A = this chain, B = another copy of it.
Amino acid sequence: MLSIGDLSKRTGVKVPTIRYYEQMGLIAAAERSEGNQRRYERSDLERLAFIRHARNLGLDIPAIRELIALSQHPSEPCANADRIAADHLAAVREKIERLRKLEHELERIVSQCDGGHSIEDCYVIRALSDHGLCESEH
């Protein structure tokens, strides 16, 4: 039986975050000791590792909840799990695309300004004031 602190140390998930996941319904409400403290088993360790891993990959809590629900029906088809991951991948790719454009624009703006003159002539400020100086929409 592990205390919440033990579970935290073993999974790298902070104590308040574990309680938060319980509140969000990602992990079952733990058994309690006589003094009302949470006591965990090995299976909670695995569950929490699953959650942490999914969060590290950027999945949000509803998606994780759904994946957990799915994982509890081993004989069901896995199309839904596949879809969740694929949708997330698509979202990640969109974010990258968007950030790439920003990177481009910022690169261009920064490269025209070496910080060695006055605000009056500063390309950073001018570019922000006048969208016409931009190459792409954003």
Contacts and interface: CB of A to CB of B under 8 A. Distances in A.
Given A49-B131, A95-B99, A138-B57, A71 B106 contact: no
B88 A119 contact: no
Contact of A119 (B74, B86, B100, B125): B74
Interface of A: 46, 49-50, 53-54, 56-58, 67, 70-71, 73-79, 81-86, 88-89, 92-93, 95-96, 99-100, 102-103, 105-107, 109-110, 113-122, 124-125, 128-129, 131, 134, 138
Contacts of A85: 106, 109-110, 113, 124
B81 A50 contact: no
A109 B115 CA distance: 45
B125 A110 contact: no
A134 B56 CA distance: 12
Contacts of A89: 103, 106-107, 110
